[in-house]
Every structure is written in C-alpha cells, then in structure tokens.
Amino acid sequence: MWSWQLLSLVSEWTRLQCSPPGTYRGAVDCLLKTVRNESVFALYKGVTPPAVGWAAIDSVLLGSLHNYRLLLLRNGMSESVPGTDIKRLTLTAHGIAGLFAGLTRYDPAASRVVELAIVAKLGSRYPLGAAIAKLPSERQFKGPIDCARQVVRAHGVKGLWSALPASLIYRSNFFWMFLSFEALMRTFAGMEGTRFEMSTGHANFLSGGLCSLVYWIMAIPADNVKNRIMATPLDLQPPSFRTTVRNVYAVSGPKGFYAGLGTSLLRAFPSNACALFVYEGLMRFLGAEKTRH
C-alpha cells in the first residue's frame, strides 16, 4: 500500500478535490505549487494515519471478501462452470461480496484514519486549498493526534464520523470493483489456447489493475462529496451529504464530482494490480477454499 501513498503524494489528490475552483490547473500545477510554497516535505503530510491503518483495513477488506464469497456460494448464488458440474459464484454474487466487504471495511478505526489523513494533509487554519500555511506556527494541527483532539473538542466524539453516510456510499462501489475483477479473469481465461494466453498470476495482475479503474470511475463522485464534508473547518458544522452534493453541483457543475479522477486512475492501477496479484497468489499457496474457477 506504500505505492498508493507515494503516488497520491505526487498527485496531491485531496487538494485537487477540496480546493476552490481555479486554485490549481491540474496535478502538475498542484505538485509544483505545493513544493514551492511548502517544501517537498509537504508531500508527506498525512502519511502517518495511512501507514498505521491501511494494512489492517485492507486485511479486513480481503479477508471478509473471501468469507462473503463462501457464504454466497453455499447459499445458492452459483452457476455451473461451462462444460463441468463444478459450481462457481455468479458475477452478481462477486459484486455483492465486494459490496459487503467494502461496508465491513468501514469500521470506526477506518473512519478515524481516513478523516485524520485528510484533515492533517494541509494542517492550515483555512479550508483546504484556500490558503496554505508555510510556517509550522501558522498551522492549526501539529499532527494526527492533535487533530483528533481538536475535532473532539469542537464536535464531540461523533465529529470523527462526520462523513459516515458519504463514506458508506463511497465504499459500496467495491461492488463494481470485484464484479469487474471476476469478469476480467473469465475473459483472460477464455484466451487459453490463443496467442494471448497468459498465466493466472499475469491475469490476476492485469485484472486487479483494470478493475480498480472501474472502481474509481464509479466511486469518484461519492469520494469528492466525502472529502469535502471531512474538510469542513472546525468552527463550522459539517454539511449533510445532500447539501454537499448541491453545493458541488452549484459551484462546478457535473465535472465537480470528477475532480481528481485522472490522478486517482494513475495511482490506482499499479497499487491494486500488485495487491490483488499478491492476495490471489497467497490464497492459492495457502490452499484456501475456492470461490472462483
């Protein structure tokens, strides 16, 4: 998951999503302004929560995914593999397993990690992107722990879950990720005997990278809404999901929901290709019960 973090640092994805229109012309402009105004170390703001939390969060995602697949397979959401009596999950069942796994992945710890990673990203006294604090003395937050204290002081413990509805909607798009992963794996398996035939590992890698592109195309609107809610200054009450949707549309129109899509796709392919390549390989190595054929 470190590849995810490094690519997100280059893209400054959160800044692109949460800054007022016109702040940056694109990812490269965002990168240059960040380094010029705050030094190269500013690219690593918010690195601590992801480093601590993502390994556990994604372990929950993939572990629960496998168990949901088994549950659905044992309860009739299956079909026969063409030409055999072997049962496999339907594509829809793979999507449902992904949906449940995505929602399971969203627990209180995950909520806190994600929120603090975003809020601590800039550490400025102003809304994200409005003005960047150059000196440590100008920054509102000294780090994730100080940020958590201030959030709790301003809004109570519930403030750490301020974007819960938006986050759940965002996480539900794992339906599309794991449905498309299985569809791609079946497509690559159908190439056996042709000049495009590839190993299972190679297919895992390509399918993992490509399905992550599908995921972000579907998830980026909800992600934009979620991040804007989380970026609300502490002296204001975080807006509702519906209010934020209206505000984004009023200010930027439909394209406002797709801010940061290009950088999200850029970092998504390599990190998810590697993650699912390793996950599927380990499941085969450990002899886990098959849910895919």
**Residue 80, phi then psi, degrees to nearest 5:** -85, 140
Tell me what pLDDT residue 289 has.
84
Contacts of 92 (CB under 8 A, 6+ apart): 77, 179
Average pLDDT, the chain: 79
Is the distance from CB of 45 to CB of 121 less than 8 angstroms? yes
Element (H, E) at 221: helix 200-230
Tell me what pLDDT residue 264 has.
85
pTM, to two decimals: 0.78
34: Cα separation from own chain's centroid: 22
**Region of residue 78 (left: phi > 0; alpha: psi -120 to 50; beta: else):** beta
Residue with tokens 């759940």: 168
The C-alpha atoms of residue 183 and residue 276 are separated, in whole angstroms, by: 15
- Segment 163-188, tens digit of pLDDT: 888 889 999 999 999 999 999 999 99
Concatenated DSSP letters for 44-94?
Answer: GTT-HHHHHHHHHHHHHHHHHHHHHHHHHHHTT-EEEPTTSS-EEE-HHHH
The C-alpha atoms of residue 179 and residue 58 are separated, in whole angstroms, by: 18
Q: Which of 39-48, 54-63, 71-80, 215-224 has the least mean pLDDT?
A: 39-48
- Domain boundaries defined on the chain: 2-285
The C-alpha atoms of residue 219 and residue 204 are separated, in whole angstroms, by: 22
Concatenated DSSP letters for 113-162?
Answer: HHHHHHHHHH--SSSTTT----SGGG-S-SSHHHHHHHHHHHH-GGGGGT
The C-alpha atoms of residue 212 and residue 209 are separated, in whole angstroms, by: 5
- Return the higher-pLDDT residue of 218 and 26: 218
Tell me what pLDDT residue 267 has.
84
**DSSP for residue 199:** -
Tell me what pLDDT residue 290 has.
83
Query: Of the candidates 190, 175, 182, 172, which has an alpha carbon nearest to the alpha carbon of residue 208?
Result: 182
Say yes or no to pLDDT of 58 above 60.
yes
CATH class of the 2-285 domain in this structure: mainly alpha
The C-alpha atoms of residue 192 and residue 77 are separated, in whole angstroms, by: 26
